[in-house]
Structure 1
Amino acid sequence: MSTPATAELTVRPATTADAAAVRDLINVVDLVDTGEAGYAVDEVESDLRRSDDLARDSWLAFSGDRLVAYAVLWPASASGRLDVDHYVLPDEVAAGSLLLDLLTARAAEIAATTPGVPAADLHLALTPESVLAVHALPVRGWRNVRRHHVLTRPVSTGADALPVLPADVRVRVATAPSDQEIAYRLVQETFAGHFGFEPTSYDDWRKRMDADHRDWTLTWIASRGAVDVGVLVGHNDREATGWVQNLGTVAAARGSGIATALLRTSFVEFAARGRSTVGLGVDTGNAHNALHFYTGLGFQLQFAADTWRLVVPAP
């Protein structure tokens, strides 16, 4: 149901039928903030399906018939972590601020009705140039707690070839249900201790990965002998860029070329599907020097993104 928010703005929840309009908004904002605009309708639909309750956990702000701001939140852990996506046109800070206030109030409600959760822990990633980061978050008590870099690398069928694997190493796609569960376990193991990582149950992970709609031929598992030692989770929902969502190697196999083999496998597949670039996000404070690893494989900085955090106590 639409709700009059101010004399100029109307706010209502999002539905999957709004995906094209949301995509257009995101691409306008991204073009200003990052110089790139590659979001696709499929990716927006996947984002919306991750929500437990779109009617209460998503917001669209309209100025007349013009969509000017969008926000959605998702549960990211059983301990009260909520991840937020929020886009607003550069000249509509008031609309973006309004949605921040609405989602903060909703976060307090979620904390109040979730047993054992004294507060909601909101996380929102934005570029440093975002109007929300500059004008809206600091005055509302949000703190900038971490910086990530989004890196990209060109790929092509002519320049990229499948890696030559050691005799005891093989790479397979995770199309089988059993392999999807192995991919989950490898992500949980290899990302434990990384900034922002929250362990989840397999069912919750599948929901957050939009697993029933995901192309699992873009998830690869590397094994050495009989032991599974590495995983790359990718998706191909963007307009021109293939995306590496997770890349992890178990501690005992680090430094043995497993991550490189998985990445080079993904380069070939993304290029075969017509992608011109591959992108990924890397924590600049990563203890394993991941930034150096990726730049050594030809990745370059596209833009920076900061993680902002707000802890909202239950009322």
Structure 2
Amino acid sequence: MPIRSDASPATSLPPGLTVRAAVLADAPAIRTLINEVDLVDTGEGGYAVEEVEADLRRTADLARDSWLAFDRDRLVAYAILWPASSGLRLDVDHYVLRDALPAGIHLLDLLIVRSAEIAAATPGAGDADLHLALTPDSVLAVHALPARGWRNVRRHHVLTRPVSVDVDSPPKVPGDVQIRVVTSPADEEIAYRLVQETFAGHFGFEATSYAEWRKRMDADHRDWSLTWIASRVDAATGQLVDVGVLVGHNEREATGWVQNLGTVAAARGTGIATLLLRTAFAVFAQRGRSAVGLGVDTENVHNALRFYTGLGFELQFAADTWRLLVPPAPRA
């Protein structure tokens, strides 16, 4: 179980640093910082400005739930909180340069204080439940999180697979299956329902309302042509039934990304997920991507890791999920 943080963290600003909230116009500078950190921690820095903008838009309160730390004019650390459910599960993103660890720790303390305020403003909801994903060698993971009560609770792998138009042609779809691109608000809602159904019970997944999901997905700015729904003829009724979904995005510099891939229980093992993936491979290759990436829980009960490696995916890097419970701040 994660440790419950009962101590108020130190929040004094290290000498020489300034801190402020992020605004949308900061996206290019944040993107540069993220890629500089990722290049050291993962060997690749492909984050795009559009991804940062989407991250900033999906906060509940950007002015209070994001932080930038500057050493003079140099951006050295960035942190942000996102609501991950209708309750008090909060996802955290945090990047800090290796020579600026005090700034990173300061932002970590600030976001814990803010999480306690959020918990206090939600009567009866209990502790804020923070989740933060970092590579095992991250300076925060090594030097800051354990001392502040964070617990490493899960490991994920980020996998990539090369794609090309010469190798990845659109798959042949059986006569009783249809693969369609999401093109309407009705299909967007179907994609939501399929994600909610197929990921229920997976580690870290939190059920959300449709409105919450749209905000988290940055739906109004999303390229929905990279989301596909699979349908299959039901043997009993002869009607097409929606059984699978793949949600992708194309903001990375060279890599297409599979954000969600799920099939309903009755359709698992029937090739639906493979058809959806091979459809995505072909489209990403046509759009000039050199690879497709995704994240997979190493303890997934459906043997997802074996499934993906069987389709040519290889490990790029590991990421650990750290968790901390933060009690509500005392009322004044």
TM-score normalised per structure 1 = 0.98
Q: Is contact 1:4–1:10 with CA below 8 Å preserved after alignment? A: no
Counterpart of 2:325 in structure 1 is 311
Q: For this pair of structures, how many residues does the alignment match?
A: 313
Aligned-partner Cα distance in 2 for 1:78–1:117: 10
Counterpart of 1:270 in structure 2 is 284
Aligned-partner Cα distance in 1 for 2:183–2:259: 17
Counterpart of 2:248 in structure 1 is 234
List alignment gaps of at least 5 residues for structure 1.
none
State the 1:115 CA deviation: 2.6
Pairing 1:138–2:146 present: yes
Runs of 4 or more consecutive aligned structure 1 residues displaced over 6 Å after TM superposition:
none
Pairing 1:170–2:178 present: yes
Instruction: Give 3-state SS (helix, strand or coil) of 1:121's partner.
Output: strand
Aligned-partner Cα distance in 1 for 2:141–2:125: 27
The match for 2:295 among 261, 275, 281 is 281
Residue type of the partner of 1:194? H
Higher relative contact order (CA closer than 8 Å, sequence separation 6+): 2
The match for 1:248 among 262, 277, 282 is 262
Pairing 1:16–2:24 present: yes
The match for 1:45 among 37, 44, 53 is 53
Residue type of the partner of 2:248? G
State the 1:175 CA deviation: 1.6
Residue type of the partner of 1:166? P
CA deviations on 1:211-255 (whole Å, 9 max, x unpaired) are: 000000000000002100000000001110000000000000000
Aligned-partner Cα distance in 2 for 1:91–1:117: 38
Aligned-partner Cα distance in 2 for 1:138–1:175: 46
Counterpart of 1:107 in structure 2 is 115
Q: Is contact 2:14–2:102 with CA below 8 Å preserved after alignment? A: no
Instruction: Give 3-state SS (helix, strand or coil) of 2:293's partner.
Output: strand
Counterpart of 1:60 in structure 2 is 68
CA deviations on 1:81-135 (whole Å, 9 max, x unpaired) are: 0000000001111000000000000000000001331110000000001000000
- Identical columns (%): 77
Aligned-partner Cα distance in 1 for 2:44–2:14: 32
Aligned-partner Cα distance in 2 for 1:40–1:4: 32
Q: Is contact 1:232–1:244 with CA below 8 Å preserved after alignment? A: yes
Pairing 1:82–2:90 present: yes
Residue type of the partner of 1:158? D
Counterpart of 2:38 in structure 1 is 30
State the 1:5 CA deviation: 2.5
CA deviations on 1:253-292 (whole Å, 9 max, x unpaired) are: 0000000000000000001111000000000000000000
Counterpart of 1:116 in structure 2 is 124
Instruction: Give 3-state SS (helix, strand or coil) of 2:245's partner.
Output: strand
Residue type of the partner of 2:169? A
Aligned-partner Cα distance in 1 for 2:199–2:115: 26
Aligned-partner Cα distance in 2 for 1:71–1:309: 15
State the 1:4 CA deviation: 8.8
Aligned-partner Cα distance in 2 for 1:112–1:251: 39
